[in-house]
């Protein structure tokens, strides 16, 4: 039933929780206010009606008694003085009308009859026309006809300032509903923002635990969950580091024993396998260290000298690494960690493309963007995120020389997080891959 209603064009709920709560509060408060206003209006109308009929009875009784006792020639001078806003006296038979059967007409007729105390026969008729009028016809003691022309007020007059007060009250209702919704939704928005920014590798501030008890309880639960996740990740990395470290000793002993053996094809294969295992262990230790941080302090570096030194180191070994464009400016970062990140990018580019290009730019937020680009086969778009996961290898062969250990990009991502930056991989137009690190 709820799903059917939500699909109807005229009954669709707003998409945001903020809008839904605001709409519910506003409609509820408006209905409650409208009900209160209607009850007050009806009570005032009934009170005013009772006062009007009571006044009509008393005034008519006095006026008829005065007119009945005056000589006919003096009555004309008092008719206008005795008239009121909703009725007036006329000396004469009045106008021809039709019998009135309405409840209001019967009430007015009853009040007039009570006023004259049934001493004079009275006939109440409705006068046809645009204005609702009643005329009560009677005959005084001397036989002179007297007509009371009554114009009943169907609607109680409203003061000119009342609509402005109503508008101000509705504005206050809207303001209060908006403030209540904002107060209720803000902690939820902060919780969502904290969840989006959750990164156990960064020691950022926790979610504020102040506010109402329910909000504080949710914040404490979120902070506890964040600490547990960070603890689990740290424990996992510690296990990896411990295993990798402990493996180095037996690998070294095996390497020494292999070197002491006689030369043979089996010896060469064994030495190659041991070297491969040692590289894997060293990469595991490097990944663990990158997750914990090396304790390196931030320093201010000249980007031009720093990038050129990296490129020259590769060029001295005959590698095709070039710097494209003009490099300017400085950066406040950890130089060794940044060098390790860029070296991983360059090594991947050289492995899969044979060459690498380095560019340095400044984005709209004045952040430094360093990119390492190649013209290799690239990475399928649906695997770009997975490529930065530990031990993920696009090349599925068992050869570590072509496939690597699958930790290079994971180490780069860990180190980038420690620098407070961001890492992005994307395929270039025309082929190739670009690895981009942004330093904020």
Q: How many C-alpha atoms does 345 have within 13 Å on its Cβ side?
A: 32
Side-chain half-sphere exposure of 225, counting CA atoms within 13 A? 12
pLDDT for residue 374? 93
Higher pLDDT, 163 or 429: 429
The 3-class SS string of 140-198 reads CCCCCEEEEEECCCCCCCCCCCHHHHHHHHHHHHHHHHHHHHHHHHHHHHHHHHHHHCC
Q: Could you give the CA distance from residue 287 to residue 404 in angstroms, rounded to a whole number? A: 14
Least confident residue range of 237-246, 316-325, 379-388, 431-440: 237-246
Q: How far apart are CA 30 and CA 179, in angstroms?
A: 16
Of 288 and 16, the one with more pLDDT: 16
Is the Cβ–Cβ distance between 101 and 162 less than 8 Å? Answer: no
Query: Which residue ranges make up each domain of the chain?
Result: 1-182, 225-279, 295-439
Confidence of residue 412 (pLDDT cuts 50, 70, 90): confident
Quote the tokens at residue 189. 């928005």
Average of per-residue pLDDT across 333-360: 90
| 104-113, 224-233, 282-291: range with lowest mean pLDDT | 282-291
pLDDT higher than threshold 90 for residue 277: no
**Share of residues in the chain with pLDDT > 90 (%):** 12
Instruction: Inform me whether the pLDDT recorded for 155 exceeds 60.
Output: no
C-alpha 285/C-alpha 276 separation (Å) is: 14
Predicted confidence (pLDDT) per residue in 186-204, tens digit: 887 778 777 777 766 566 6
Handedness of CA 125, 126, 132, 137 (dihedral sign): negative
pLDDT at res. 290:
62
Cα angle: 425, vertex 430, 432; to 5 degrees: 40
Chain segment 118-152, per-residue pLDDT in tens: 677 777 777 776 667 777 788 887 888 888 787 76
Phi, psi of 293 (to 5 degrees): 85, 145
Question: Domain 295-439 carries which CATH code?
Answer: 3.30.565.10
Residues for the chain: how many in total? 440
* Per-residue pLDDT tens digits for 5-44: 444 445 567 777 778 788 888 888 888 878 887 887 777 7
Give 322's pLDDT tier (boundaries 50, 70, 90).
very high
Residue 13 half-sphere exposure toward CB, CA atoms < 13 A: 14
């Amino acid at each position: 039933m709820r799903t059917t209603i939500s699909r109807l064009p005229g009954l669709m709920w707003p998409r945001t929780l903020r809008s839904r709560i605001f709409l519910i509060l506003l409609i509820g408060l408006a209905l409650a206010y409208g009900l209160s206003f209607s009850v007050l209006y009806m009570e005032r109308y009934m009170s005013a009606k009772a006062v009007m009929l009571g006044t009509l009875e008393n005034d008519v009784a006095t006026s008829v008694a005065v007119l009945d006792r005056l000589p006919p020639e003096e009555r004309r001078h008092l008719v206008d003085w005795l008239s009121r806003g909703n009725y007036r006296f006329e000396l004469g038979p009045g106008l021809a009308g039709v019998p009135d059967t309405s409840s209001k007409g019967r009430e007015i007729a009853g009040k007039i009859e009570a006023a004259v105390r049934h001493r004079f026969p009275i006939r109440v008729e409705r006068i046809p026309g645009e204005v609702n009028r009643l005329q009560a016809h009677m005959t005084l003691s001397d036989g002179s006809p007297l007509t009371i022309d009554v114009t009943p007020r169907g609607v109680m007059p409203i003061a000119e300032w009342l609509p402005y007060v109503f508008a101000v009250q509705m504005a206050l209702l809207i303001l209060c509903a908006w403030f209540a919704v904002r107060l209720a939704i803000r902690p939820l928005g902060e919780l969502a923002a904290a969840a989006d920014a959750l990164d156990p590798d960064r020691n950022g501030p926790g979610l504020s635990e102040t506010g109402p008890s329910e909000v504080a309880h949710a914040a404490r639960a979120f902070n506890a969950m964040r600490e547990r996740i960070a603890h689990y990740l740290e424990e996992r990395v510690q296990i990896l580091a411990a295993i990798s470290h402990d493996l180095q000793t037996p690998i070294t002993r095996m390497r020494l024993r292999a070197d002491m053996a006689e030369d043979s094809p089996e010896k060469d294969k064994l030495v190659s396998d041991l070297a491969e295992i040692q590289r894997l262990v060293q990469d595991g230790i490097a990944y663990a260290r990158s997750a914990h941080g090396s304790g390196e302090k931030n320093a201010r570096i000249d980007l031009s000298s720093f990038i050129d030194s990296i490129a020259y180191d590769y060029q001295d070994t005959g590698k095709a690494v070039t710097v494209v464009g003009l490099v300017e400016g400085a950066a406040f970062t950890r130089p060794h960690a940044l060098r390790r990140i860029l070296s991983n990018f360059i090594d991947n580019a050289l492995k899969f493309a044979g060459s690498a290009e380095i560019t340095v730019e400044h984005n709209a937020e004045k952040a430094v963007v360093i990119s390492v680009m190649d013209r290799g086969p690239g990475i399928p778009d649906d695997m770009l995120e997975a490529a930065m996961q530990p031990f993920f290898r696009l090349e599925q062969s068992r050869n570590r020389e072509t496939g690597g250990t699958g930790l290079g990009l994971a180490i780069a991502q860990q180190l980038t997080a420690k620098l407070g930056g961001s890492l992005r991989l994307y395929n270039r137009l025309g082929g190739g891959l670009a690895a981009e690190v942004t330093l904020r």
